[in-house]
Copies of this chain bind each other. A is one copy, B any other.
Amino acid sequence: MRVSGDVKKVVLAYSGGLDTSIILKWLQTTYGCEVVAFTADLGQGEELEPARKKAELLGCREIFVEDLREEFVRDFVFPMMRANALYEGVYLLGTSIARPLIAKRQIEIARATGADAVAHGATGKGNDQVRFELSYYALEPEIRVIAPWREWTFKSRTDLIDFAEKNQIPVAKDKRGEAPFSVDANLLHSSSEGKVLEDPAEEPPAYVFQRTLSPEEAPDQATVIEIGFEHGDAVSIDGVRLSPATLLAKLNELGKANGIGRLDLVENRFVGMKSRGVYETPGGTILHVAHRAMESITLDRGAAHLKDELMPRYAELIYNGFWFSPEREMLQALIDKSQGAVTGGVRLKLYKGNVIVIGRESPNSLYSTKIVTFEDDAGAYDQKDAQGFIKLNALRLRLLAARNKGLDR
């Protein structure tokens, strides 16, 4: 297992923005290597063709611009949604879940183009560097990884801008100063961090939110929708069958309009520090609530509680960048095993930030009115059974109490 020191060709996760353009040029000048630019459409809501042109201008001969939205939702977002994954009780992992897909494509492109290295634009303080690099290594153990932000000697924004200008990288006027916060976006969420958000005692300024209306701005009238599920995955809205990415996009619209999915969080990064993030996950928030409701009538208690107990671990693995790890895959096998009958429909009321379940139905429902009813159940459930159930559940506690009281036992 050897990693070569020399770099001949590197596949860069390239957004087309100023920072990754600087990285692109820096890789060329520092390593004297060829750079393959890879730009993925994960639903971040930007035109990608300009990125292609910019990469051409910067001298790339191999450029990959790919629409990965369906793969992203189908193979990454949906499996995670099956787990009801929440990091630290609340965060829907919108950034975390995108990194392994980008990394995977970089590795595939490296193989296809004969590149011997990969590079990304994540800084040395965050989680994303970890997520990218663990994914690279897990897929291609001998790959050379370049993390420019950890390597270069630029000390300030000014240094970067200087480098850009010296290298004919166009710098938009509004990029000269430092951005008031930093953003990541994809079909599942937008995240904002840094600068104006650095004091967790201060409310985020309104201009930070880009993806959702505030609850206050949302309409006074609720929107009612029905999401259809098959085997744990959402497949339709209001009876209209939609592909994974189309469905999530539609939920994003609905969530945005109704002020749904904002989160202001102080979280624990894998690298050991606390950070403050503002997240907007409109469609994902709706999906999360709907999936739990769908499971509530179709999953057995044993299955549901086991999932709940393992969920924090699963979410932590994704957050920390271990998507491509045996333990994540083992947990996924466990989760997927439970989803066969998670089929049916959930009706929701979306209203000013609230996602309210107002109905769930399934051909596979385990809810039995006959048994639960307050009315005569015609013998479906024998209340006498409860006595034995309680008596034997109590037995060990009674022995313990007798012991503690010094009673005969």
Give residues in A with beta carbon < 8 Å to B: 1-2, 84, 88-90, 123-125, 129-130, 133-134, 137-142, 147, 149-150, 155-156, 178, 182, 193-195, 198-203, 215-216, 220, 222, 262, 264-268, 271-276, 292-293, 296-297, 299-309, 311-313, 316, 322, 324-327, 329-331, 333-338, 341, 347, 349, 351-354, 356-361, 364-376, 380-405, 407-409
Q: Is the CB of A296 within 8 A of B265?
A: yes
Q: Is the CB of B368 within 8 A of A134?
A: no
Partner among B125, B307, B349, B356 whose Cβ is within 8 Å of the Cβ of A386: B125
Given A274-B399, A302-B326, 13 more contacts at CB 8 Å?
A1-B398, A1-B407, A133-B390, A141-B399, A200-B361, A200-B367, A215-B352, A276-B367, A301-B396, A306-B330, A326-B338, A341-B403, A352-B353
Q: Is the CB of B275 within 8 A of A300?
A: no
**A89 proximity list for chain B (CB < 8 A):** 84, 292, 308
Min CB distance A139 to B, Å, is: 7
Q: Is the CB of B333 within 8 A of A337?
A: yes
Q: Is the CB of B393 within 8 A of A389?
A: yes
Q: Is the CB of B403 within 8 A of A365?
A: yes
Min CB distance A80 to B, Å, is: 15
Given A130-B386, A201-B360: A1 and B367 interface contact (C-beta under 8 Å): no
* Smallest CB gap from A320: residue in B: B393
A374 vs B160: C-alpha distance when bound (angstroms): 14
Copies, count: 4
* Smallest CB gap from A124: residue in B: B383
Q: Is the CB of B408 within 8 A of A358?
A: no
Q: Is the CB of A372 within 8 A of B297?
A: no
Q: Is the CB of A401 within 8 A of B141?
A: yes
Partner among B354, B376, B402 whose Cβ is within 8 Å of the Cβ of A1: B402
**A326 proximity list for chain B (CB < 8 A):** 299-300, 302-303, 337-338, 400
Q: Is the CB of B366 within 8 A of A403?
A: yes
5 A-B contact pairs sorted by A residue (CB < 8 Å): A125-B372, A139-B401, A141-B407, A324-B397, A370-B409
* Smallest CB gap from A373: residue in B: B198
A276 vs B95: C-alpha distance when bound (angstroms): 35
Min CB distance A257 to B, Å, is: 15
Q: Is the CB of B330 within 8 A of A337?
A: yes
Min CB distance A356 to B, Å, is: 7
**A199 proximity list for chain B (CB < 8 A):** 369
A167 vs B130: C-alpha distance when bound (angstroms): 44
Partner among B178, B364, B373, B390 whose Cβ is within 8 Å of the Cβ of A130: B390
* Smallest CB gap from A138: residue in B: B397
